[in-house]
Amino acid sequence: MSASLFTTLFLIALGLYTAIQLWLASRHMQHVASHRGNVPEAFTDRIDISAHQKAADYTLAKTSLERIEIVLGAAILLAWTLGGGLQWLDSLWAGSGLSTLWTGTAFLLSLFALLSLIDIPMSIYRTFILEEKFGFNRTTGKIFISDQFKQFALLIVIGLPLIAAILWLMKNMGTFWWIWVWAVWTGFGLLMMWAYPAFIAPLFNKFNPLEEGSLKQRIQDLMTRCGFTSNGIFIIDGSKRSGHGNAYFTGLGQNKRIVFFDTLIESLSTDEIEAVLAHELGHFKRKHIIKRIISMAIFSLAGLAMLGWLITQDWFYNGLGVTTPSLHAALALFLIALPVFTFFLHPISSWFSRKHEFEADAYAAKVSSAESLTQALVKLYEENANTLTPDPLYSAFHDSHPPAAVRIAHLAS
């Protein structure tokens, strides 16, 4: 393949990616706006019109911002590739006098840092304008700045040795280096799953053990019935950043822990909290976590095998604006350009995710209460201003959870 042909294919793929994303977002906005005036029949006795309209307006505002981000994302990608951004950054580090390994490591670290820096203006807008407008933002300027510094520090502490190890393996492990990189990457992912709840998450939030009482006893009884053991039940101070509520379990092996947002604890009854936890435990009992780990491992292995072939092709570099082939440039190009060629897989991923949600709901209905889970979900839809009327095609493409009406009907059956 010639470099010019690959450039053409890349531009076509990027054009399709951008056009389809914009089309789906426009469909979504039109559908939500057209249903703004009436609460869906399944929710007329549960959610009032003002809450329904707030959710519609919030969705319209978020999707409008999403369209801007789609266009900006395409422009930024073009700037980094065909615009010569990666080549400029590579040339900058090439004159530093560092060894090949550390030049590549510095190149990739600075690329990730710059990508994060470029996203800060949009993050500020999302947090302090959009979320503030709808009453969800509780993040202060001090917290926002502190989070940025912590994320940068984690990039250095965690990213530097990982990137250096990957580049070393790519250089020294022969033709099948990608198998070794896959093993390291998979092991790193499992390590992060184990370490995140105990060592990383506490850098950003406080995790307080759930106090003794009827709620804790109900939760412990439920876990006993489900055969689930954890390293504790914790309340996270999510309210210091946002008014949104959630619950999840995190960790791996003996380091698993159950986490409730303080906003969720305040808004749900004991029965509803138990039902929400039963849903989360359903993911565990139906082995969804293991299935996701396995599927991610398979896709990452396939991706690295493809990269193992691409790094030997000059058209791969030249076709994306890099005139000096290198291992670190290949890795950067692969990471930032891959979504353009794989976006058509999103509906498949979303379908499997929604299937898992249905299975977790069914498990919760079995071990707890379908009605309590329904009540909890309705409250969460209302309090988080999640639209009840998403465009079906947009939802099928993007949403990891089933639409509200479909999910409630599934629980009722």
Closest to 181 (Cα-Cα) out of 80, 54, 302? 302
Helix, strand or coil for residue 227?
coil
Which residues touch 174 (CB under 8 Å, ≥6 apart)?
none
Active-site residue, selected from the candidate residues 274, 280, 382, 383: 280
Q: Residue 253 region, left (φ>0) first, then alpha (ψ -120 to 50), else beta? A: left
End-to-end CA distance of the chain: 54
The number of angstroms, rounded, from the C-alpha of 261 to the middle of its chain's C-alpha atoms is 18
41 is catalytic: no
Active-site residue, selected from the candidate residues 90, 272, 357, 361: 361
Question: Phi and psi dihedrals of 248, rounded to 5?
Answer: -165, 165
> CA 189 → CA 250, 251, 293, 340, distances in Å?
13, 11, 9, 24
Length of the chain: 413
Which residues touch 350 (CB under 8 Å, ≥6 apart)?
396, 397, 398, 399, 400
361 is catalytic: yes
Active site residues: 280, 361
